[in-house]
């Protein structure tokens, strides 16, 4: 049975809180679907993918999918990812506020992630000035 302490240790080592941000001042050939994409994910070797399915069951959200890697000396991995903003707000963020991470770098990224999510909640991501603010905050992440 998976526990909150186990999840925190796993995320400290292998997890990531990130936000993909399209620079509003830089035209791009490859346009992202949206301008601000918050994500929580954890990636493990394919042989350990059962743990990711346990995380999906534990949180009752997110998806698990394969990340194929054709580079020499690399193996396929599986990824558990939560991208739904409602799930991030209502499940993932409260979990890690109640079960704190221990690594300073992860604590910092989680704090920045929460700050950006708050700006999204306030709909700042819908205007250019808010997108610039989010981009600058995101640059502080690991």
- The per-residue pLDDT for 74 is 73
> Which two three-digit tokens encode residue 79?
């990824």
- Look at the pTM and tell me if it is higher than 0.75: yes
Domain boundaries along the sequence of the chain: 4-138
| Coil/strand/helix, residue 9 | helix
pLDDT of residue 1 exceeding 90, the answer is no
Q: Which residue has the tokens 């990531």?
A: 16
Question: What does the pLDDT look like over 61-75, one tens digit per residue?
Answer: 999 999 877 777 777
- Which stretches does DSSP call E strand in 27-135? 36-45, 63-67, 77-82
Output the CA–CA distances (angstroms, integers) from residue 59 to 35, 63, 127, in the order listed. Answer: 26, 11, 32
Burial 3-24 (b: 16+ CB within 10 A, else e): eeeebbebbeebbbbbbebbeb
pLDDT at 30 over 60: no
Number of H helices, E strands in the chain: 6, 4
Could you read off the pLDDT of 109-130 as tens digits, one per residue? Answer: 999 999 999 999 999 988 889 9
In the predicted structure, residue 97 carries a pLDDT above the cut 90? yes
Topology of the domain comprising 4-138: Endonuclease I-creI (3.10.28)
């Amino acid at each position: 049975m998976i526990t909150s302490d186990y999840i925190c240790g796993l995320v400290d080592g292998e997890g990531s809180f990130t936000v993909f941000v399209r620079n509003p001042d830089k035209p791009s050939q490859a346009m992202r679907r949206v301008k601000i994409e918050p994500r929580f994910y954890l990636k493990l070797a394919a042989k350990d993918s059962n743990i990711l399915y346990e995380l999906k069951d534990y949180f009752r959200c997110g998806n698990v999918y394969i990340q194929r890697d054709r580079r020499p000396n690399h193996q396929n991995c599986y990824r558990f990812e939560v991208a739904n903003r409602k799930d991030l707000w209502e499940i993932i963020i409260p979990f890690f506020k109640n079960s704190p991470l221990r690594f300073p770098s992860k604590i910092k990224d989680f704090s920045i992630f929460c700050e950006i999510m708050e700006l999204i909640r306030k709909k700042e991501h819908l205007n250019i000035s808010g997108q610039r603010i989010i981009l600058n905050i995101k640059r502080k992440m690991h």
